[in-house]
Chain A
Amino acid sequence: MDPVTVGSPGSGSDPHVQAEMGRRRFVRLLLGFSLVSTVSMIITPIVGFLIPKKVEGASGGGKVLAAKVADLPAGSGKVVAMGSKPVVVVNGEGGVKAFSAVCTHLGCIVEFDATLKHIVCPCHDGHFSPASGAVVSGPPPKALATVNAVVEGDSIFLVAG
């Protein structure tokens, strides 16, 4: 196609050059757009593929038997599974309490230390109060999440939600 036929007369000093530049800019824009579209089309499914699907935890609701009262004497504690989530149940001075057993520092599983009377993380030596789950010492940034523990008869239940 002749560039002269594309140029708009009177729009500049050299219509040939202006038409050429306008067309080049348009083609470049089109190429750039195609490139971005192509890259996006390739990347979008890859990113979508890599993002895991949300899976409902097994601890979605209900009541889970944690232990028999006889198996958890005063001054002791144990880690039990509540669905897929570990929970530390402690029979301390304030009665039976339960907390998430996942350390708030870096995700290790805490356990009750009967000698120190603390909930202790074995990874970085974080200590938590068995009464409230609050941090007593060490690097954990926050308290252990509380889980509802209910004593019914001779059994200790964990109640979700």
Chain B
Amino acid sequence: MATQTTAAPNGVVQWFEERVRATALFNALLHVPIPVEAKTYYLGGITLFLFMVQVATGTLLSLYYKPTPEAAYDSVKYITSIVEFGWLIRSIHHWAANGMIIFLLLHVIRIFVQGVYKYPRELIWVFGALLFAVTIGFGFTGYLLPWDQKAFWATTVGTEIAAAVPFIGESLLQLLRGGPDVTDATLSRFFGMHVLVLPISLALLLAAHLTVVHQLGIANPKRPEPRPGQLPTPGLVQRWKPFFPHYVLDEVIAWAILLALLVVLASVSPAGLEDKADALVTPPHVKPEWYFLAVYQLLKVVPAIGPLTARDVGILIPMLAMVVLVTLPFLDKNPEVAKRKRPVALIIAAIVLIGMGILTWYGGQIPAVAVAAS
């Protein structure tokens, strides 16, 4: 009997193995060596974990959320105050969204500083940059769903930005809003994008991103792959460590710590809700979420240049920055990865980051200061 009990799992595993042939797949996915020098600082893995948290909490929220202007605000209120643990699920969704942006940004900075976006990993960067754009899209579309004042006006300003895109601006605005103004049609579209279009896009891009990472392996920041026609440095021996379980275990520990942190943040500072959206009143001191503050402030401070109005300049700069971000591996022709041999790229990146930091901080100040100064 005891023999039968211990043999049963093997029998079940064997039964599935014969029908799925999963061992070979798991071996190919998990049992890969990675360079000892590869330090990822958990940033990409945590971003992936936060996306999984968003899928789980977002699915739960969608069971109660009603995407109509009449019902959206009250349904969010209902989730927050009546549904058991609703406040927790919503607040974790809120904090995980913020965390996803933070860790994605840090991941991008880490990849840039280590120079591991260069040959042969250009496509990994391109998929990653597109993932960044999709994540920002999540923030933007999710913002409107509570249908409060902040949501309504952030969306009004954000979609108005699209209207200033040369030639196609007006059509783009109509396409985003589902009409000339932010209405129930906009809410339906944003809900559809937030729960279907963007998750599917993100999943596909993530699959592409991770597939290429798996195929090329995690980069060694100290020793880039030799380019075509280039010989490897003689006398250097690459040391490896196993991806599974060493690396995976480290990541899982980081995920567990982060999950605990999310619960603490959700408890200490739960997601808020402002007054219900009013299309006739823009509240004073209205501001978007922190990750849009730099663009928001840029739109306020940039001057008109030549035939371009200040608004055009303020919109073209972030658009151009996004194009540069996606195409960076093809613009940066310097083959070096060592930091001391890439001073120009690192200084430009530092200036951009400091500039964004200043704009974000400045944008976060209360407008009363600006009014008093002017």
Residues of A within 8 A of B (CB): 50-52, 55, 79-81, 84, 86, 101, 105-111, 121-125, 137-141
Contacts and interface: CB of A to CB of B under 8 A. Distances in A.
Interface stretch (B201-209, B221-229, B278-286): B278-286
Contacts of B157: 106-108, 123
Contact of B179 (A52, A106, A138): A52
A86 B299 CA distance: 23
Contacts of A125: 300, 367, 370-371, 374
Given A108-B156, A124-B300, A141-B311, A84 B367 contact: no
B138 interface: no
A106 B280 contact: no
Contacts of B49: none
27 contacts: A51-B171, A52-B174, A52-B178, A79-B280, A84-B181, A86-B279, A86-B280, A105-B160, A106-B161, A106-B299, A108-B157, A109-B279, A109-B280, A109-B281, A110-B282, A121-B282, A122-B285, A123-B157, A123-B282, A123-B286, A124-B299, A124-B300, A139-B300, A139-B310, A141-B310, A141-B311, A141-B312
Given A52-B179, A81-B280, A106 B311 contact: yes
A108 B374 contact: no
A111 B282 CA distance: 9
The 9 A-B pairs with the shortest beta carbon distances in the complex, nearest first, are A107-B160, A141-B309, A106-B160, A109-B282, A108-B282, A124-B300, A106-B157, A139-B310, A52-B178
Contacts of A121: 282
B314 interface: yes
B153 interface: yes
Nearest to B284: A122
B172 to A, nearest CB: 11
A70 B374 CA distance: 33
Given A108-B157, A111-B281, 18 more contacts: A51-B171, A51-B174, A51-B175, A81-B280, A86-B279, A105-B160, A106-B299, A107-B160, A108-B156, A109-B279, A111-B282, A121-B282, A124-B296, A125-B300, A125-B367, A125-B370, A139-B300, A139-B310
A51 B173 CA distance: 10
Interface string B331-374: 00000000000000000000000000000000000010011001
Contacts of B316: none
Interface residues of B, number: 35
Contacts of B312: 141
B267 to A, nearest CB: 33
B179 A55 contact: yes
Given A105-B311, A139-B310, A50 B175 contact: yes
A50 B193 CA distance: 12
Contact of A122 (B161, B175, B283, B374): B283
A105 B315 CA distance: 11
B9 to A, nearest CB: 48
A139 B282 contact: no
A50 B311 CA distance: 27
B113 interface: no
B285 to A, nearest CB: 7
A108 B286 contact: yes
A86 to B, nearest CB: 5
B181 A139 contact: no
A137 B314 CA distance: 17
Contacts of B309: 141
B143 to A, nearest CB: 15
Interface in B152-186: 153, 156-157, 159-161, 171, 174-175, 177-179, 181, 185
Contacts of A86: 279-280
Given A55-B179, A108-B282, A124-B300, A139 B311 contact: yes
Given A51-B175, A52-B174, A123 B153 contact: yes
A102 to B, nearest CB: 9
A121 B161 CA distance: 16
Nearest to A55: B179
Contacts of B311: 105-106, 139-141
Nearest to A127: B374
B374 A137 contact: yes
Nearest to A57: B180
Nearest to B183: A84
Contacts of B160: 105-107
A101 B283 CA distance: 14
